[in-house]
Structure formats: C-alpha cells, structure tokens
Amino acid sequence: MTPTQDRHIIFIHLDLGIGGAEQLVINLALASLKAKNKVSIFTTHCSPAHCFNEVKPNGTLHSSLHVYGTFIPPSVFRLGTAFFSTIRILYITLAAIWFYPDADVMVLDVLPTSIPLLRMFHKAAILFYCHFPDKLLTRDTVNGVSISSQTKTSKLRQLYRFFFDYVEKFTMSCSDMIVMNSAFTKSEVCQAFQWGEMPFILQKMRILYPAIEFDNFQVQSNPSETKTSLTGLGPIVSLNRFERKKNVDILLHAYSLLLEHSKKSSKISSPPPLVIAGGYDPRNIENAQYMSELQDLAETLNIPSGERDGMISFQPNVSNAQRSCLLSSASCLCYTPNREHFGIVPIEAMYAGTPVIAVNSGKTGL
C-alpha cells in the first residue's frame, strides 16, 4: 500500500444537506476517489430533494453513501440540539466501526464527540475538520458573538452548555490531526478552548482552506449571454443557506436604497435584478421562517417581485448547473455573513471571474 493510494477513507457527517460544510465533505471525498482510495460516507440524513448532485441516486458518490439513524430527531420542540446531535454522531460512528473495522482513515467534521469511541474500538487514523467551534455556534451566538445580552441564561442551561463545551474540547484533542479552514478559525479555536499554551495540541493543528471541485463548476465561455437586465448587466447574487446568521436582510436594505437612488437620479440607470439563492431544508424551521421573513421584508421595502417586472427572486436549493450559471453571469456576488470563518462561495465566484462584495469581518488570524 502506498502512502496516498488504496486506502479506505470514511467520512462521518451529521446531515448531508446543502451547505459549505457538506460541500467540503463532498469535495474531499471526490479528491480521495481521484487518488484511487476507497471512500465511504456515513450520515444520519440525506434527502434527494436537498443534497448535492454527487450523492443523489445517479451521483458519483451515491454508492459510497450510508444513511443510518434517521429515526433520531435533531431536537425535540427545538430543545436539546447538542444532546441529540451527540446521540446521532455516536450512532453513525458505531455503524462505521461495525461495517468497516479495517478502514484506514476516519474523517469527522462539525462534532468531534465520537472520536474517543474510535480511539477505543478502531485502529484508523483520525482527522477532525473544524469549520468553527460548536461552542461558538449556539442559539445565543452568531459565529461567536452573543446575540442575547439582554436575556439571562438559566443555571440549568449554563450547566448544559458547560458540559457539552467541555466534551467538545476534550474529544477534539483526542484526534490525530485537527484541520481548520482558516487562520481565523484557528485563532478562535485556541481562544475558545484556551489552547494557546498547550504545545501538544498546537502541533496537531493544520490549516486546509476549502477548495472547489473544478470539474463540477463549469464556467461559461461567454457569461454575457446570460445577462438579464435592461442595462446588459447580470444579476446581483446572494448565495447562502437561509439562516438568520447569514445576514441577507442587510443586502435587501442596500438594494432598496439602490432602487430609490436610481429612480431619483437621471445619471443612475436601473440596477440589475437581485437573486437570493441558497440551501433550503424544509425540515429546518429557521430556513422556512427566514425565507418568509426575507420575502416579507422585500415587500415592505417595495422591491418589485414577479416574473415579468420583478427585481428580486428567491431560488432555494439551486443545482450545480444553476449555481455555476448564477455565479458566472452575476454582476457581483454580495456575501453578507458577519465573522464568517471561511466562505466557499466567494472562492467559486472569484474562479468564475465575478467580483465579490463582502462584510469586512472574520479576517483576524494567527
């Protein structure tokens, strides 16, 4: 067996929907296949209506997909998310151990909780990919910034979070390698878990920036053919999951001001249309609520909608082809998340030759 080929690599991911973390897993799995490795992906949920093409029934990775634990709820009445996530990750890790006891590498992301289980019952090398500390992604925070300063947290919830935060810190340190998506995330991890003076942990850390799958991202040879506005400009595009932390509402306010100024000034032509696209999971209450909120906000701001004269459209769960077309034909991509640890969408837009306008945050690093 060579150092880089003919290994069996298992990816363990909680919910294989549509998002940056899921796209990373897909891209790493595809790269592993190209390197002549065997690949298996374990997850608790993967809906054909809400997943990337590669894991759909006719996709390249569908035969590598193993879905177990769908009966375990992500929460109960929107409570206990950390608890149920722990149960789910432990369940699919046990399934991976049971079905593939001789696998060579285990790659986990999102939650490291089951790493000690692998340590006890499996011989595989363990890599944990940290998108951002789960400790900083609770319902009271947005990428580490508290949003509930006015709300007192109960002692029971404090104890609940203290336990799971400690579990995350301990279990992450049990991996053979901790890979992070940026220097910013590395700095946040070290600060959140106070690892600044723990050399044996720091030695495990590496930075691996998420990369796009070029074969599946076909840039149009002549993007101008898809320009849609009367001025010959392509749309202004936002591409995110429909979550409040993605901060898309500030784009709608900015676009409303742009429309207002264009009407008042003869020197400013009508702006290109606005496309709000991204991952939308019908099981996720926040996805449904936030999309509805954005639609209501667009109406409140008097941004015209509709097929004929509409200036805004919402496009949930765009396909790879639609994603490629949007980014390569756009006038610009507006990326609005605050303190985003690493967004893969701006990389795709830049590869497509589209300028990116992003929130000036999340750039601090080691």
Average pLDDT, the chain: 86
Check residue 366 and give its pLDDT.
40
Check residue 148 and give its pLDDT.
55
- When the candidates are 3.40.50.300, 3.40.50.2000, 3.40.190.10, 3.80.10.10, the CATH number that belongs to 216-358 is 3.40.50.2000
* Domain residue ranges in the chain: 8-211, 216-358
| Chain-centre distance for alpha carbon 12 | 15
Check residue 360 and give its pLDDT.
83
In the predicted model, is pLDDT for residue 364 greater than 50? Answer: no
pLDDT bin (cut points 50, 70, 90) of residue 225 is very low
Q: What is the pLDDT of residues 78-119, one digit of tens each?
A: 889 999 999 999 999 999 999 999 999 999 999 999 999 999
Q: What is the pLDDT of residues 291-312, one digit of tens each?
A: 999 999 999 999 988 766 789 9
Q: Give the predicted TM-score (pTM) of the model.
A: 0.84
269 contacts 363 by C-beta, under 8 angstroms: no
Query: What is the mean predicted confidence (pLDDT) over 169-187?
Result: 93
In the predicted model, is pLDDT for residue 223 greater than 60? Answer: no
In the predicted model, is pLDDT for residue 140 greater than 80? Answer: no
Check residue 308 and give its pLDDT.
66
Check residue 268 and give its pLDDT.
65
CATH architecture under which domain 8-211 falls:
3-Layer(aba) Sandwich (3.40)
